[in-house]
Amino acid sequence: FSGSAGETKGLFVPKAEDYQKVYNEVAALLQEKDDYDDGSYGPVLVRLAWHASGTYDKETGTGGSNGATMRFAPEGDHGANAGLVAARNFLEPVKAKFPWITYSDLWILSGVCAIQEMQGPTIPYRPGRQDKDIAACTPDGRLPDASKGNKHLRDIFCRMGFNDQEIVALSGAHALGRCHTDRSGFDGPWTFSPTVVTNDYYKLLLDEKWSWKKWNGPKQYEDKSTKSLMMLPTDMALISDKTFKQWVGKYAKDNDLFFKDFAAVITKLFELGVPFDETTQQSPITFKPTA
Ligand code: ZEM
């Protein structure tokens, strides 16, 4: 046989320390490749993990992070996934170094790593995802459309099994990263610190004055004072809807509450549709941050 180290006849059973090694490798690459975008691949790794998970449909049990079907053309080419090839390519050397990990576990582990390395909360991680083939690709249209409003947000996120509070907590991820005209068509970051996990997204939503950006691109908002930040129509829906807005207010005031709720809801997101072997009572791994 020709297994690489650790893959002897497929009998290698990785332990927590092996997953920590993968974590450390992703963290090292994040440090090393700091000339990307705002200085980090972290945000786009979080987006990859979210788009792998956010296809979940609770009625049919299809989609979700178990499968990594975005590797294949129909799903990889969905408009919502434009640009995520940068994140997938970033992870190829990690997959080559640790061939025993599935793509589906690696993508989620990397999302966890990115959040922790960007000073976010600790996210408990459970491995066990299996890669599926092209037949498991989800239909286009399962991920949210940024041009829409509160009803659309509830439709999409209720299909995954989330409530209003969870929708608002998840949206705090937009403290990270930016929009790219060559990907979604939108432009700009949501916050002044797009490579650090903070509750600034909520603060800015409430504290800034937002008006329509005058440009030829898709409809988006800009802040009146600096015109350097942006909000999507779906972001603004979180303050035009009374129920959503109450949660925006709580998270704007209390970063600890945001960290606690964000960790819980992102763990739920990352585990949607993953058939963990409940009989083994597998306890989640807590990765040690390197930063
Ligand atoms: Zn996003 N997101 N997202 N999001 N997102 C973008 C970027 C990022 C929506 C959306 O349309 C967009 C969640 C929810 C929602 C991240 C994480 C999470 C972009 C810009 C758009 C258009 C893409 C581009 O041009 O590169 C909509 C409508 C959402 C509904 C609420 C949730 C939930 C997330 C994680 C938990 C992140 C980290 C980015 C930044 C990516 C980057 O490359 O910088």
- The ipTM, to two decimals, is 0.99
Number of domains in the chain: 2
- Amino acid symbol at 242: K
Which protein residues touch ligand 1 with a CB less than 6 Å away?
43-44, 46-47, 50, 83, 144, 146, 153, 170-171, 173-174, 176-180, 183-184, 186, 232, 234, 266
Q: Is the pLDDT of residue 140 over 80?
A: yes
Q: What is the pLDDT of residues 234-275, one digit of tens each?
A: 999 999 999 999 999 999 999 999 999 999 999 999 999 999
For the chain, give the mean pLDDT.
95
Pocket of ligand 1, candidates 50, 142, 251, 258: which has the most ligand atoms within 8 Å of its Cβ, to mutate? 50
Calpha distance 167→110 (Å, rounded) = 22
Q: How confident is the model at residue 120 (pLDDT cuts 50, 70, 90)?
A: very high
Same domain for 168 and 203: yes
Question: Looking at residues 225-239, what average pLDDT do you find?
Answer: 98
Q: Which residues contact 217 (CB under 8 A, 6 or more apart)?
A: 181, 185, 186, 187
pLDDT at 280: 64
CA angle 221, 226, 229 (to 5 degrees): 40
Query: What is the per-residue burial (b if ≥16 Cβ within 10 Å, else e) of 138-147?
Result: beeebbbebe
In a domain, 290, yes or no: no
Indicate which atom in ligand 1 lies nearest the CA of residue 54. Answer: 33
Calculate how far, in angstroms, residue 233's C-alpha sits from the geometric centre of ligand 1: 12
Calpha distance 284→263 (Å, rounded) = 13
Question: Looking at residues 75-81, what average pLDDT do you find?
Answer: 98
E runs forming strands in 70-113: none
Q: Is the pLDDT of residue 3 over 50?
A: no
In a domain, 189, yes or no: yes
The CATH code of the domain that includes 193 is 1.10.420.10
| Pairing, β 230-231 against β 221-223 | antiparallel
CA angle 71, 77, 82 (to 5 degrees): 100
Q: Is the pLDDT of residue 5 over 60?
A: no
pLDDT at 257: 98
The CATH code of the domain that includes 91 is 1.10.520.10
Using alpha carbons, select from 178, 165, 173 the residue that is nearest to residue 201: 173
Q: Is the pLDDT of residue 1 over 50?
A: no
Name the residue range of residue 117's domain: 14-142+269-280
Same domain for 224 and 165: yes
